[in-house]
Amino acid sequence: MNKYYPPVFNETQFHCIHCGVFSKQVWSDIYFRTIHSFVISPIRTCVCVHCNEYSYWYEQKMIIPAEAPVAPAHIDMPESILREYNEARSIFVKSPRATAALLRLAIQKLMIELGEQGENINNDIKSLVSKGLPAQVQQAFDYCRVVGNNAVHPGEINLNDTPEMAQHLFEMINFIIEDRITRPKQIAALYDKLPEGARKAIEKRDS
């Protein structure tokens, strides 16, 4: 999975909110003409060199389009959690806390996809660890669990003051899907291309 670089005010390269391509971005000021002079607007424009589509920014935040500058769903994201993920993207700018709560629900549904109960995230993580879950993936799950829990039951983390913590949830979920779903699928597809005789010999060896 390629690293996602979200749109950031005045950055000259990032993944375009329109076409999704990592591309050069050109920034410009908007001027208003008065009777005697030109006045710079507080709104800046940004055009993607790849697709030539514009975004508009005010007080260092994207206002048009309204979609949040966060990572799109992984191509292998299960349909069962895609709705929550995309809904979380659509409300991130307005409510990081609601975003985190939705992504917590997405993690619960993802646990079911991974063969767990999906009732208690902490217990599901413990179960996956006992089955050999890599430490990095465990940490990604626990990041989602702790941040998500603080959205539902406010505690030590104020997501409205630290929206970047909610933003990282999108990256964590995509990372988990890459490790737990995409890579095993890719390896299985390559393994299936081995000659049948070789695969039967391997099965016999391990039986």
pLDDT tens digits, 193-202: 999 999 999 9
pTM above 0.75, yes or no: no
Cis-peptide into 69, omega within 30 deg: no
Which residues have a Cβ under 8 Å from the Cβ of 19 and sit 6 or more positions away? 48, 50, 51, 53
- The more confident residue out of 155 and 206 is 206
Q: Point out the least confidently predicted range of 42-56, 68-82, 178-192.
A: 68-82
Helix (H) or strand (E) holding 152: helix 135-152
**pLDDT top residue among 205 and 69:** 205
Assess contact for 167 and 103: CB atoms under 8 A: no
Segment 10-46, tens digit of pLDDT: 999 998 888 878 899 999 999 888 888 888 889 999 9
DSSP 169: H
CA nearest to 21, candidates 52, 47, 50, 54:
50
* CB-based contacts of 133, cutoff 8 Å, min separation 6: 125, 141
Burial environment of residue 113 by CB neighbours within 10 A (0 to 12, 13 to 18, 19 or more):
middle
Under 8 Å between Cβ of 102 and 87: yes
Cα distances from 66 to residues 15, 57, 61, in angstroms, run 16, 10, 10
Distance (Å, whole) CA 100 – CA 90: 12
Determine how β-strand 54-58 pairs with β-strand 38-48: antiparallel
90 has a pLDDT exceeding 90: no
| Full set of structural domains in the chain with CATH | 13-64 (no CATH), 79-192 (1.20.120)
